[in-house]
Amino acid sequence: MRTYEAIVDAVLATEQTKSFVTSRRAELEVDLGGIPGDRHYGLLRPADVRQRFYARGTMIANRRQLSLLAAEECEIVASALGVPVLRPEWLGANVLLRGYPSLTQLPLGARLLFASGAGIIGEGENEPCIGPGRVIAEACGRPELAQRFVKAAKHKRGIVASIELPGVIREGDRVAIMIP
Amino acid sequence: MRTYEAIVDAVLATEQTKSFVTSRRAELEVDLGGIPGDRHYGLLRPADVRQRFYARGTMIANRRQLSLLAAEECEIVASALGVPVLRPEWLGANVLLRGYPSLTQLPLGARLLFASGAGIIGEGENEPCIGPGRVIAEACGRPELAQRFVKAAKHKRGIVASIELPGVIREGDRVAIMIP
């Protein structure tokens, strides 16, 4: 078991369930389904194009409860797109980390333990799609960024995660990252 | 995504929650917590020595709902121990597969889709401990087998798994094994 450390730069959740865009919070209280009230909350979720082996819409266990980004990876993508900053809100992130720059490569099953009490399990790379690209394009007034985001963010768009130990994740938290 | 196929040789569950020893069933109906009534059933389980990064007994998400064995691996372990057969009951198995001999090496996050409807997620290797060793020693009248089992079964004791799609697992089912 290798252990690393990072810091929680920001925590965010959706305002409602209609849009994936998130906004900042002081802390997140998570339970076994994720962040209550957030768009991705639930013990179950409908299977989508990522689980082609199930009929679309079949309710399956929700392993995509949280979206995590590394600030360092966001900076690389911002630079590739020629924008001054890539806001985690635009990507629908719930947790922005700093200090672990290769977050997207974190192997499935790694644990992230937050000083405020919550523990989560890394569920693997989040593959970029055009939704956040459109938000970025709109925010920056540059329509060509929608498609360019998908390519630029490949292997740099962070991970999804599910809750192992219900509790709190707070801005400024230290995070122990444990790789089996 | 690579796909393999196997057959369900037997399905089993515990009679009650006091002992991990299982007995045969015609089918298992699984929900999001595993096999209702089985010793390892639940959305939550207490953290143990396998999750040293949590205080022992802390209730965490249960990713060890089912135990799966490969018949071929059991035969290798039986041969190493000099016993004619290693019964899945003794190891507390819930599903005995045949046709995928390297089950214990199945990577975390692989899917097993059963023809009767259920879908499960492989949660990695099940490390042998002395409990089943004692059951084998008792059943075979050879006390030395308790310790020998732990060594002989290393990397051959199958995997644990959690439910992704609630449904049925039936003896004789075909299983599609999908490795990401």
pLDDT bracket for residue A171 (50, 70, 90):
very high
The pair of structure tokens assigned to A165 is 């130990």
Q: Is A176 on the interface with B (CB under 8 A)?
A: yes
Question: What is the structure's pLDDT at B17?
Answer: 84
Question: What is the structure's pLDDT at B27?
Answer: 98
pLDDT at A46 over 90: yes
Q: Kindly list the residues from chain B whose CB atom is less than 8 angstroms away from the CB atom of residue A108.
A: 107-109
Residue B23 and residue A101: Cα distance in Å, rounded? 49
If contacts are CB pairs under 8 Å, which of residues 53-72 in chain A contact chain B? 53-54, 58, 60-61, 63
Convert the pLDDT of each residue in A73-91 to its tens digit.
999 999 999 999 999 999 9
Across the interface, whether the CB atoms of B109 and A119 are under 8 A apart is answered no
pLDDT bracket for residue B53 (50, 70, 90):
very high
Across the interface, whether the CB atoms of A121 and B43 are under 8 A apart is answered no
Question: What is the structure's pLDDT at A17?
Answer: 84
Across the interface, whether the CB atoms of B109 and A113 are under 8 A apart is answered no
pLDDT at B114 over 90: yes
Pairing between β-strand A111-114 and β-strand A119-125 as defined by DSSP bridges: antiparallel
Convert the pLDDT of each residue in A2-28 to its tens digit.
999 999 999 999 998 899 999 999 999
Question: What residues does A168 pair with on adjacent strands?
Answer: A29
Q: Which residue of B has its CA nearest to A112?
A: B53
Across the interface, whether the CB atoms of A32 and B61 are under 8 A apart is answered yes
- Alpha-carbon gap: B114 to the closest alpha carbon of chain A (Å): 11
Which string of DSSP letters, residue by residue, matches B71-135? HHHHHHHHHHHT-S---GGGGT-SEEEES-TTGGGPPTT-EEEETTS-EEEEEEE----HHHHHH
Rounded mean pLDDT, A112-127? 97
Across the interface, whether the CB atoms of A164 and B43 are under 8 A apart is answered no
What's chain B's average pLDDT? 97
Q: Kindly list the distances between the CA atom of residue B124 and the CA atoms of B4, B48, B149, in Å, as whole numbers in the listed order.
A: 17, 16, 20
Question: Model's pTM, two decimal places?
Answer: 0.95
